[in-house]
Amino acid sequence: MTHPAIRTGSVAVITGGASGIGRAAALKFAATGMRLAIVDRDEDKLDGVKTELNAAGAAEVMVAPVDVSDREQLETFEAEVTDRFGGADILMNNAGIGRGSSCLGPLDDWDALLGVNLWGPIHGTQVFAPGMVARGRPGAIINTGSKQGITTPPGNPAYNVSKAGLKAFTEALAHELRSTEGCAITAHLLIPGFVFTGITGVSEKPAAAWTAEQTVDFFLASMNRGDFYILCPDNDVPRALDEKRMAWAVGDIIENRPPLSRWHPDYAEAFADFIRDDD
């Protein structure tokens, strides 16, 4: 089966669509003959991706430089999409940034990460979703999360908070959409593994990483099955290991362990035994 919103002539809006996972998804949608509306803060890449999408078979393509942390910019773009295409069928809130942070560190780091990674998808959803629902057509909203929003490892709390917040938002969104009479919009949380994109900060693909194209192929297959949680493996971490890491994280609450006990020296042996069990 294919998700009913993925069809010739449908309209897909993708934020952060000029590179990485967003670009790979746009190329897949273009091959289906869809109409694409791409935004990105990197203006230099937008013209290039527009050419690529036209060559890949997109029915029509529009691009615009948009900062998703600025709601007014998204509202302007939504009006342009509605004027040209009649509205959106797929919204992929994919734009994201990575930068360091600490709990007691500079506010600028928190503002930047939360602005793009959390407020960006919230703005995008609130700006585009009402029109999507009103169209009465099958549609989908895909939010790009992170495993760090589930296991919240030490080292970058602002990033973790942004992705944990996005998980909670997307779960609530799915519930609201399925509880809305006549709504044909589904919601999905894309949880990539280690993916070779610009955010990794390296010039050559590490052996452990998937390509953006592999991630999108997995994501589309999962979406077509109706999955909400699209938990992607990579070349280093299989799903079974992800599941155990996530189960241990929840176990901190159930077992009354210290927070982030996976990284606590007193629990190192217990965690190793937990991972080995049933392997």
CB 189 within 8 A of CB 167: yes
| DSSP letter, residue 211 | P
| DSSP letter, residue 87 | S
CB 129 within 8 A of CB 235: no
User: 250 by DSSP, 3-state: which?
Assistant: helix
Give the separation between CA 83 and CA 277, rounded to whole angstroms.
57
Q: Classify residue 246 by burial, with Cβ atoms within 10 Å: 0-12, 13-18, 19+.
A: middle
Q: Tell me whether residue 159 is one of the annotated catalytic residues.
A: yes
Q: Which two tokens stand for residue 92?
A: 């992929």
Catalytic residue among 77, 159, 218, 248: 159
| φ, ψ for residue 207, nearest 5 deg | -60, -30
**Spatial CB neighbours of 43, under 8 Å, sequence gap ≥ 6:** 65
Put the strands of the sheet holding 139-144 in their side by side order: 60-65, 35-40, 11-15, 90-93, 139-144, 185-191, 229-231
Q: Which two tokens stand for residue 10?
A: 């449908």
Give the separation between CA 20 and CA 199, rounded to whole angstroms.
9
State the greatest distance between any 2 C-alpha atoms of the chain, in Å, as a whole number: 60
| φ, ψ for residue 58, nearest 5 deg | -60, 140
- Residues with a catalytic annotation lie at 159
